[in-house]
A and B are shown apart, each in its own frame.
Chain A
Amino acid sequence: MSTSGSAARSPPERWSPLAGLRAPVSRNAMVVAAVVLFGAFAVTSNAFATLGNVENILKQAAAVLLLGLGVMLVVLVGGIDLSVGSVVLASATAAGIALTEHLGAAIAIAAAIGVGALVGFVNALLVEGLSISPVIVTLGSMIAVRGLGLVALGQYRSWIDIDDPLFNALAQNAVLGLPAAAALALAIAGLCALILRRTILGRRLYAVGDHAASARLCGVPVRLLRGLAYVACGALAGLAGVITAARTGVISPSIGVGLEFYAIAVVALGAGGLPAGRVQVGQTVVGALILMMVFNYMTIRGIAGTWQTTATGFLLLGAIVVGRLVQGVPDDSAVGIGLVEEVGLGRLRASLSRNAIAAATILLALVFALINPRFATLPNAVALLEQNAAFAIVAVGAMIGIVSRSIDISSGSVVALGAVGAALAAKFGALGPLALCAGIALCLIAYALNGILVGALDLDPLIVTLAAWIWARGLAVSLTGAQTIAFDPSFVAFMNTPLAIGVTPAVVLIGLAFGLGWIILARLPIGIRLYAIGNDPRMLRQAGVSTSRVRMIAFLLMGAFTAAGMVVMLGRLGAAAPTAGFGLELDAIVAVIIGGTSFRGGEGRLRDTAVGVAFLAVLSNGLSGLQMGDAEFFLIKGGAILAALTLRSLSRSFPARRPRRGLSIHDSKTKARP
């Protein structure tokens, strides 16, 4: 009909109390923040504003800036890349190997960039070619590429010294008064800015990010350009690997861990969110500088390095909340969800592909049983369940999140935070159950915060839980001073005492979690609403249900499952390690997706998630039974995840379907097509 029709269709104006301040403040908010921070730090610390220290800040910023630029390009076209940290490891290793084998610095650098670009290319193929969500794809490649890097590094006893004149120069020399690495990073930032502002390519990238459907009708090759962004991001991450290798002078397995989150944080800090089609190079530069200034200041003031992570998380949270309030960034769809074209599986194909994963699980188990006589034994079966208890329980929460389009990547960190909270409470004299309650409460509080930000402020769940991923982990590390704290032995004994035929309470908890999850999703009114909100929030609103309330409930439920996972993990480990639960959130999400639940939300069954959990559990138990190292484990697991996703996606497009409408960026539902 007339404009009235389209006005009614588009989401209502988002709430924005500071609308009047928008124009002048929002444009330069982060530059102002950076200057204010610099001033405040300089006044409160004599050492801060010295030439040497500024140089230090710039040096530290170089690698993060390059990664941020890469991620910015991907965010610009509406995607996300979580694999850049692993690319840093793989690229640095490639460069190190080239140097060790005396191939020369030029080849080493080319190899590093090439490895990065190759990873980007594979990401692009899977995301754009097969239309799989970029969050899932780059999670998979994050694991697989780390494994690849570790395997390669393992050939050199996991330790490569870098000693090359060019690399040393990159680390130590100065260009125009700037440290060489920083000068290089800034030069590349300038080049990116120039390309984005002044070339056809840049203009088209912005067009794709701003509105892909319109850009497509203007003859812009949308998929190609989005793919290109992933390749460029990979290449820049490869270069960041070179700089990291040069700066540290040694390549060890811990390189690049968690860097992807800092890279995203840098982009979000500068832009106040991850708005496709609107991020700018300048913002990313400012974001990187702010983050590094804060780190540097903390170091100078003698605050333990462990607090840096916490600070990053809260800074990120602050930036997106301020960005939301001041700019009212109207993002219509969540990052990484909006651009995925997913054709619904038919009933037959859905069951086929579900059975495919179930069959793969059984096949996998058979293979392991053949190779390893100890695999198919009752003790191992119980061990398998116990090892994966926390993972399985958290996966039920992840299922609730994905069904309701409220993706959560903070569960691993919150598990650690909760465990640390419980252990500290016990250390300060709280009784076992009471300490446990404190930990559970901490988990619920973290999720309540997530829920309020997503539900009431309408922020993108991916960014909010990314911030929580960072701050919760940071808090866990800083509260313990990076030490492991023992927990009440009687509780540990209880959790590890079999109730019957080797079944410990942890195993019972798995059953409870799935039972409860089933009741929530299938037997409670809220279940219908969770599916409905994942399906199309507008329709739920039309039916008179508050969507923010449903989202908050979804997050509280996820919090409860995460808390249960924390209890199980605490009981298994007998102590709270600040590194506990690392990667748990990724495993949980991957299990849900492999099981067959659509990342778009609104569909999927819990029993499919159970199949996905079984697949991953058998895989990791079987591999560990083979005395496999971390490296191979990562590699095989990441590869298996990507393969499973590809399989799913191919089975989706295999039978001939009607000529497609090119790519559909929007839900077909939202289009009023007469």
Chain B
Amino acid sequence: MLAKDEGCAALETRGLGKRFPGVVALADVSLAIKRGEIHALVGQNGAGKSTLVNILSGMLTADEGEIRVEGHSVDIGNPRRAIELGIVTVYQELSLLPNLSVAQNIALGREPRRRGLLDAGAMRAAARGALDRIGVAIEPDRKVGALSLAERQLVEVAKALSHAPSVLVLDEPTAPLAAREADRLFGVMHALRSQDIAVLFVSHKFREILDHCDRATILRNGRKVTTTALTGLSEADLTEAMIGTKTPRHVHSGLRARGDVVLEAAGLSYGKVRDVSLTFAAGEIVALTGLLGAGQNDIARLLGGDLVPEDGEIRVRGRPARFRSPRGAVAAGICLLTDDRKQEGILPNLPLGDNIALPSLDRRAVLASWIDQAAERRAVGTQIARFGVVARSLSQPMRTLSGGNQQKALLSRWHLDDCAVFVLIEPTRGVDVGARAEIYRRMEELAADGRAIVIVSSDIQEVLAVADRILVVRDGRIAAETSPRARGEDELHLMVQGAA
């Protein structure tokens, strides 16, 4: 830990920048978090919040810029160093090990010993102390795997506090918590503030930010918009600051002709998703939007056959269809592009050409199984040109393409397969502005070509720019249906938050 120098910010960044292939994730971000302050970090998906959090916690290294702790310039580099510097992060994906007990998890990496042996009593006592500090009664001997998501979140906070942080970073900590549990967490945050600890609080929920934070830094497209005191501001003010005006802004192309209904779902249930009924017609773009974890992703996965519904029915062109795997959905002409391009989209080491051709191999086969390579090259080449995929050659490994090009290639993959319904989860996540506009144009072309497009997006601006119909998902249900012309950005944002 570094010597404290009064008057300095507990944590300061100067001109922080980070790029990923094809995207500038963070550019010239400077912010200062004071001791005894709860500082909110606000921004849309892809604004750079996670990148910033990951740099502060040592998971990523910045390409440029400087980080200062208590006024001293530091080099974080790895998670251990971050913790040594007093910067402790509670990640959005929890970092607890389910097979270990609560006490073991809290002690991991610095287990108390007595004469070389593990001091189980001290370990338990330390865990109990850490849990007491935030007023949680969880038995330290319980396996983490047996805890509820909310309990795990609280254990995670207790674990972070047991490192005696000077800066505590909370990345969307309230997402899995119910109102009462969240209140308890806010109580902890206030107590920390009075102990002169700096808290960086990342959240999508504006009400929480306005009620509990002192100042907020707003990020947009990887850049800082402003740092502002929160007193006297409203949710609408924050929304405006967060959304701003994007350039180049995509303008809705106007009403499209709605064709026959191609896909229907009635009474779908799975996990949190309860009794959802939907209809999609050829030639329309429908957006499902909601807060993180509202259930819109699961609805899309149900439609794409990735999840098998517990209850309810899916009909394709009026005929009932039971998908036991994506294979059935693909055969019925429904494709699913998930938000996790790396894990569920690309075949990273295979060439671009093979990636595009994979689902539609049958369509060009000679004698049932033989691949006509010339025909394949032609077909893939046409798609690449049509979707504007930039690559050195068809044999370039997929992983070496930029995010935007990968996404365009994945869209072209399904166009080549002649899919009737495109289910796209966050199709522009991690894609730069130029590629984003291009993807919107392709989606509109596909719709004009008579395909039904379902997009799941938490980017309000994107939803308003491309969708013909907007379905707002809250707590696993369709809470409202609206059209882009009926609502402004701020208004839709409030609907998503459940405030209107």
Contact = CB atoms under 8 A, between A and B. Distances in A.
A571 to B, nearest CB: 30
A211 B348 contact: yes
B433 interface: no
Interface string B78-109: 11100100000000110111111000100111
A203 B361 CA distance: 9
B310 A659 contact: yes
Nearest to B325: A662
Interface string B314-347: 0000000000111101110000101011111111
B50 A5 contact: yes
B425 to A, nearest CB: 10
Contact of B330 (A219, A602, A658): A219
A42 to B, nearest CB: 36
Contacts of A542: 59, 79, 95
Contacts of B345: 214, 217
B46 A671 contact: no
A660 interface: yes
Interface string A636-674: 000000000000000000000011111000100111111
Interface in A77-119: none
Given A219-B327, A523-B117, A535 B97 contact: yes
A155 interface: no
Interface stretch (A193-201, A354-362, A381-389, A474-482): A193-201
A515 B369 CA distance: 59
Contact of B346 (A211, A519, A531): A211
Contacts of B271: 658
A541 B99 CA distance: 17
Contacts of B166: none
Nearest to A661: B307
Interface string A393-420: 0000000000000000000000000000
Contacts of B175: 674
Contacts of A213: 343-344
Interface stretch (A6-14, A158-166, A462-470): A6-14
A55 interface: no
Contacts of B217: none
A217 B344 contact: yes
B360 to A, nearest CB: 9
A670 B342 CA distance: 12
Contact of B108 (A522, A540, A661, A662): A540
A203 to B, nearest CB: 6
A539 B97 contact: yes
Nearest to A604: B99
B171 to A, nearest CB: 9
A201 B175 CA distance: 44
Given A213-B344, A217-B345, A540-B109, A344 B145 contact: yes
A298 B430 CA distance: 57
B46 A1 contact: yes
Contact of B343 (A4, A660, A661, A671): A671
Contacts of A46: none
Counting chain B CB atoms within 10 Å of each CB, the highest count among A213, A215, A544 belongs to: A544
Contacts of B497: none
Nearest to A534: B99
Interface stretch (B17-25, B180-188, B232-240): B17-25
A218 B54 CA distance: 32
A671 B297 CA distance: 13
B109 A662 contact: no
A3 B20 contact: yes
A535 B306 contact: no
Interface residues of B, number: 85
Given A6-B342, A204-B358, A219-B330, A658 B347 contact: no
A221 B361 CA distance: 14
A273 to B, nearest CB: 13
A6 B50 CA distance: 10
Contacts of A674: 175, 292-293, 297
Nearest to B58: A542
Interface string A493-531: 000000000000000000000000001001111011101
Contacts of B359: 218-219
A545 B54 contact: no
A336 interface: no
Nearest to B47: A2
B383 interface: no
Interface string A1-39: 111111111100000000000000000000000000000
A377 to B, nearest CB: 40
B419 to A, nearest CB: 10
A210 B350 contact: yes
Nearest to B331: A219
B34 interface: no
Contacts of B108: 528-529, 532, 539-540, 543, 545
B100 A210 contact: no
B355 to A, nearest CB: 9
Interface string A185-225: 00000000000001111011011001101111111110000
Contact of B54 (A8, A216, A543): A8
**Which label, helix, strand, loop or mixed, suits the secondary structure of the A interface?**
helix
Contact of A215 (B97, B306, B347): B347
A313 interface: no
Interface in B258-313: 270-271, 292-293, 297, 304, 306-310
B325 A277 contact: no
B371 interface: yes
A603 interface: yes
B23 A200 contact: no
B430 A666 contact: no
A525 B96 contact: no
A341 interface: no
B347 A200 contact: no
A216 B344 CA distance: 9
Nearest to A218: B359
Contact of A545 (B109, B325, B361): B109
B358 A207 contact: yes
A458 interface: no
A543 B159 CA distance: 10
B358 A203 contact: yes
Contacts of A2: 23, 25, 45-48, 50-51, 429-430
Contacts of B140: none
B50 A1 contact: yes
B173 interface: no
B49 interface: yes
Contacts of A527: 118
A528 B107 contact: yes
Counting chain B CB atoms within 10 Å of each CB, the highest count among A210, A216, A525, A673 belongs to: A525
Nearest to A525: B111
Contacts of B347: 206-207, 210-211, 214-215, 277
B365 interface: yes
Nearest to A347: B146
Nearest to A602: B99
Given A3-B20, A206-B350, A277-B350, A539 B95 contact: yes
Given A214-B346, A536-B97, A524 B117 contact: yes
A51 to B, nearest CB: 37
A219 B369 CA distance: 16
18 contacts: A1-B45, A1-B46, A1-B429, A2-B23, A4-B20, A4-B26, A4-B48, A8-B54, A8-B60, A200-B365, A203-B354, A217-B345, A277-B350, A278-B349, A524-B116, A528-B108, A544-B109, A659-B308
Q: Can you list the 9 inter-chain pairs with the closest CB atoms, starting with the nearest?
A: A219-B330, A544-B80, A4-B51, A1-B50, A543-B109, A3-B430, A525-B111, A659-B308, A2-B46
